[in-house]
Structures are given as structure tokens and as C-alpha cells.
Chain A
Amino acid sequence: MIANFFSTKNKPKSLEEQLKTDFVTLSSHQLRTPLSAVKWFTEILLQQKVGKLNKKQVDYLNEIHRSNERAIALVSDLLQVSRVEAGRLHLDLAKVDLISLLEEVIGANKLSLESNQLTFHLEIVKGPFPLVKIDKTKIKRVFQNLFTNAIKYSSRGGHIDIALKKAEKDIIFSVTDYGLGIPIEQQDRLFEKFFRGSNAVKIQPDGTGLGLFIAKSLVEAHKGKIWFESTEGKGTTFYFSLPITGK
């Protein structure tokens, strides 16, 4: 049944690639349905309108909710990767105020910042800031991926610096954490799909290694660039640029 929806899409080059992409796409869609059901029934139970719960039951349901959200995020990442690999990354371009978009992402991460006792500083160059033509959802995802990495890999009580600057032809975003940094021998592989640096695994054993791969794909789809500077033991700065597209 579901195959009808995918048969008209661009085909990957080799049979192996096609099978891999179809498998990921199909399983991602099929997995999201039962995960959505778990999400919603957990929510219904936690609202306690169908019955009162004791403290332990609330605690366990919250654990189910958190685990389920992790599974949903992983499946969404796999789906995003399959779209990239099948050449089905469609950009819905519109002029967007990047400052508001960035502030939205920061706002959405306030709880994580607070629970990790992190401070942050946002630097935005004064003066008129150009609107850029981007796919808002996708660039928001890039901000989100880089910002949550900075939160995850900062030491508790640490600090994060965020900047949005205007260069001659580009807007450049950067986010700096002062965490463990990336060992130099692993830096070449950082944007590879499923690659996870050894320091990252130490801090976050359950990461997928897809966040930076997705961020790179989304930035490059906008004709931008993504890169980083890192010193082990001192921290990491990620940058990405987006071309200013004029009026």
C-alpha cells in the first residue's frame, strides 16, 4: 500500500542504494505510526482524565514518554537522511528573519540550559540585518542540531557563545562550547553519517551520529558551508554560512 507513495520519486542510482533508501523510508513511516500511538496514549494516561495515577506510575509513564520521544527523533533523523540520499530534499524558500528564528531555537532550549546550569551569550552585529531566503524549518533544524550539541557537550555550569554575523556575501552563524573538544585524529570524520567521536560517546552514549550529517546536508542544500574549529580539552566552535541572496 505504502509503496504507491514512493514509486514516483527520484530513484537512487544503484539497486543497492535504492533498496537501502526504500527500506529506510518505508520503515521510518511504518515505525512512526505505532510510536505516535504510544506517544498519544501515554499523554492520555498522564493527563489522568481516564484514571488517577500514583507517583510511581507517573514516573514510569514519563520514562516511557522520554524513551518514545528518543525513538521518534531517531526515526525522523533516518527519514531525513533517506530524503537527502534519494535526492528528495525539497526546499520551500521564503525570506526569513534569522535573528527571530535563532531566538526561537534558544527559547525552545531554555529548560535544557537551565537544567545543565549553562549560561549563554548571544552576539548579533548591530545595524540592519539582511533577510535571507531559506527553508525556515530546515535551517531551524540546523540551529537546533548545533545548539543542542553545544548544550550536550558543555560541562555542567559552563558557558556557550552564540553569534550571528554578516560577512560580505554571507551570514555566518557560530556556536561555541567549552567542553571536551574533538580529538584531532577524528576531526576529518565528524560529518560522516553515523560517526561519533570518542569524547561524544563518553558524554552521550545514546547519540546516533546523524545530527551533523543532516546539518551539513541542509546547509549545503542552501549553497552554504559548514565547518568547525576544535581543540581537545578546550572546546569546539561550529560555524555555518548562508549566502545573502539580495532583495
Chain B
Amino acid sequence: MSKILVIEDDPAIRKAVAEGLRQDDFEVETGGDAEQGMEILGRFEPNLILLDLILPGKNGFEFLKEIKASVKLSKIPVIILSNLGDQEEVQQALKLGAEDFLIKADYNLSEVVEIIKKHLSKS
């Protein structure tokens, strides 16, 4: 069973994503900000991180930078799931090492799950 960490500050989105993933037999942990994300990563080793960009405190870009700078965590693939999506934001995220950039409103939940599976089969 693959493990996914979801970092998302909106409680409804967090709940929907977790539900969609659990229905597909993923083990899911969720955090509402970067700090909680780091705390969870101390006890949970995900196969993939699903990361929002607009977060209270440290934003998603900063969190991503920290992950990619960590010897222990840098190999975990990160997919951005955000409602931002300007070209500069997409490029910045990819440059920082994100595997993919999904704009929430453009995807069905089942499509998000399929994309996660595709990335997991690659890694």
C-alpha cells in the first residue's frame, strides 16, 4: 500500500483528497501547513507528497525547497496541487524539483489519483 502525505490548508479540499486516495487503498496522512508537514515526515515515510502552494506560514515553494535540500527527504516525489497556475509559478515549482503541477479546478479527483499512480509507477 503506497503512502501519501497531503499538505493542504483548506479543510474541505484536504478531506476530499484524503477520501479519494483512501478509496483507492492509499494510506494517507494530512497536514494543514508546512510545519505540520515536517512534523508528520518525522514519523511517516510517504511514497509521495501532494503539496498545496498557498499555506499559512511557510508557503509551498519554501516547503518544497526544504524537502529537496534534505538528504533524507529529497528523493520523495512531490506533486503540486494548487489553484495557482501562472506560468511563472509552474516553472518555479518544477525548477525546485516538483514532479508535476496540477491545477485543482482543472481535474476530477479520480484524475488526480490516476496521475499520482502514474508517478508512483515511475519512481
Which chain A residues have a beta carbon within 8 Å of chain B's beta carbons? 1-2, 4-5, 29, 32-37, 39-41, 43-44, 47, 49-50, 72, 75-76, 83, 88, 90, 92
Contacts and interface: CB of A to CB of B under 8 A. Distances in A.
Contacts of A90: 86-88
A32 B12 contact: no
Majority SS of interface residues in chain A?
A: helix
B83 A36 contact: yes
Given A2-B54, A32-B83, A36-B83, A44 B12 contact: no
A88 B85 CA distance: 12
Q: Which of B12, B19, B53, B105 has the most CB of A within 10 A?
A: B105
B59 interface: yes
Contacts of B20: 40, 43-44
A49 B113 CA distance: 15
A167 to B, nearest CB: 29
Contacts of B13: 33, 36-37, 40
Interface in B12-64: 12-13, 16-17, 19-20, 23, 53-56, 59
B23 A49 contact: yes
A1 B13 CA distance: 18
Contacts of B76: none
A95 to B, nearest CB: 18
A89 to B, nearest CB: 9
B104 A5 contact: no
A165 to B, nearest CB: 30
Given A1-B54, A90-B87, A37 B19 contact: no
Contacts of A76: 105
B89 interface: yes
B83 A43 contact: no
B96 interface: no
A36 to B, nearest CB: 4
Contacts of B86: 83, 88, 90
Given A35-B105, A39-B109, 6 more contacts: A5-B84, A32-B105, A33-B13, A39-B108, A40-B108, A49-B23
A4 B62 CA distance: 13
A57 to B, nearest CB: 18
B87 A75 contact: no
Which of A34, A36, A50, A92 gathers the greatest number of chain B CB atoms within 10 Å? A36
B74 interface: no
Contacts of A92: 87
Contacts of B88: 90
Interface in B93-117: 104-105, 108-110
Contact of B10 (A4, A33, A43, A72): A33
A41 B16 contact: yes
Contacts of B56: 1
